[in-house]
Amino acid sequence: MAARAAARMPPAYAGDRETIFDRPRHLRPDGGNDTSLPRNAFMKCRAAVLHASPVSAPYAQSRPLSIEEIELAPPGPGEVLVRVRAAGLCHSDLSVIDGNRPRPVPMVLGHEAAGEVVEPGPGVQDLKKGDRVIMVFVPSCGHCSPCSEGRPALCEPGNAANGIGELIGGGRRLSAHGKPVHHHVGVSAFAEYAVISRHSLVKLEADIPHEIAALFGCAVLTGVGAAVNTAKVRAGETVAVVGLGGVGLSALLGAAACGASRVIAVDLSEEKLAIARDLGATDTFNAGDPGVIEAIRAATKGGVDHGLEMAGSVKALDLAYQITRRGGTTTTAGLANPAHTLSLAPVRLVGEERTLKGSYVGSCIPMRDIPRFVDLYQRGKLPVDRLMTSQSGLDGINEGFDALNEGRTIRHIIMM
């Protein structure tokens, strides 16, 4: 097994740009006119490419992700070439495959990852070859109104670039057979190499395995951040987490780290409820049980201080809202189908002084929060390594998405 995996690894590139990239002409692979990125100035690597969406499960049969050779242009100004070492499968990727979140294709998915710097692009002076990095899926310009307010997840140019499958610096660095391939939220980590904006990389100082480091790029950032930054859970408060995937279990760990006196886990899966108990949930409830809302209200004498919805489902959000007490806060970090809507009575929102919040990327500032969360992990306060329940090489990615879709894994990690 190890020998076969090693045989699939691309060559270990060394030296300067001329030894990594072939640079004979002067147009970008995506058709642009930026002469800093000559046409056909690329390296080749293996990637999982999505050519169409929606695609139905089981994915081991429908094979939505094709493992093929792609071409990668050199990093432009403010960009970095990264060797991807580990990437997690997330429901945000799955939502592109199944059509819940339309994106342009062809596209290389993957946004939760860790790796090593191979080559900093022009103007990047604070990263060097060999530095270990965690990839962040919302690039930020640092200059727009949200960025200036300390809310990089809402970066306007970053979100615009993500929507059209480009990097925040403009254009695409991926191509195949002479045609452009789109980036996924500025990362595209289901590939052996990636060109990424410097703003989407957090340098990792801690000596932790790549497969654990990758989790901090999405599951931990989003889940722990929702509890710590968005909901602002305080010691002694009560919390219910609805939806126990990687993000939900991270939120559970975040609530416990905040000192919540009671952390209630809610899910349809008895297996996930058992994992939640092992991770410190004080109570568990099956969301499919009749009367589950009344049972949680009774157990908490009127509801919890914080209801955290992490499933990406309107039903889950409604449940989280219903089990939040008068004067409490309901926070949602799940990405539901854009066409789905929530119905609620405004008089209750007003008369009970409720708060309903959205949380994107855990309301985090990644450069600040990832080192904080890594430190908590190293001190035993956030055992996020227990979220990793299966792994494979790139060739097993479609089967990995089946496991995620069927709830048989919390986080499946692709090792490269």
Rounded to 10 deg, the angle between the 314-322 and 292-299 helix axes is 30
Alpha carbons within 13 angstroms on the beta-carbon side of residue 170 total 8
CA distance 242 to 251: 10
CA distance 172 to 387: 33
Is 225 within a domain? no
- 292 in the same domain as 316: yes
pTM value is 0.89
The conformation of residue 22, written as its DSSP 8-state character, comes to: B
- 310 in the same domain as 275: yes
DSSP calls for 202-226: EE--S---HHHHGGGGTHHHHHHHI
In this structure, the number of other CB atoms found within 10 A of the CB of residue 342 comes to 12
- 107 in the same domain as 187: yes
Is 172 within a domain? yes
In this model, does residue 258 exceed pLDDT 50?
yes
In this model, does residue 25 exceed pLDDT 70?
no
Is 265 within a domain? yes
Q: Which of 329, 358, 387 is the last residue of a domain?
A: 358
Q: What is the CATH number of the domain that holds 96?
A: 3.90.180.10
- 11 in the same domain as 122: yes
Looking at residue 138, what is its pLDDT? 85
Q: Give per-residue pLDDT as tens, 331-353.
A: 999 998 889 999 999 999 999 99
CA-closest candidate to residue 131, choices 210, 31, 33, 39: 210
- 300 in the same domain as 174: no
Is 402 within a domain? yes
Looking at residue 41, what is its pLDDT? 60
Is 239 within a domain? yes
- 103 in the same domain as 147: yes
- 195 in the same domain as 291: no
Is 93 within a domain? yes
Q: Give per-residue pLDDT as tens, 157-209.
A: 999 999 999 999 999 999 999 899 999 999 999 999 999 999 999 999 999 99
- 185 in the same domain as 38: yes
Is 289 within a domain? yes
Please check whether residue 112 is in contact with residue 214, taking contact to mean a CB–CB distance below 8 angstroms. yes
Q: Give per-residue pLDDT as tens, 273-332.
A: 999 999 999 999 999 999 999 999 999 999 999 999 999 999 999 999 999 999 999 999
- 102 in the same domain as 244: no
- 167 in the same domain as 253: no
- 275 in the same domain as 350: yes
User: Which structural domain, as residue segments, surrounds residue 89?
Assistant: 2-218+365-415
Is 224 within a domain? no
Q: Which of 322, 340, 358 is the last residue of a domain?
A: 358
Q: Which of 311, 342, 358 is the last residue of a domain?
A: 358
Looking at residue 5, what is its pLDDT? 37
Q: Give per-residue pLDDT as tens, 109-152.
A: 999 999 999 999 999 999 999 999 999 998 899 999 999 999 99
CA distance 119 to 127: 9
Q: What angle do CA 379, 363, 359 make, to 5 degrees?
A: 115
- 79 in the same domain as 43: yes
Report CA 165 to chain centroid distance, whole Å: 16
Q: What is the CATH number of the domain that holds 252?
A: 3.40.50.720
CA distance 397 to 257: 33
- Number of domains the chain contains: 2
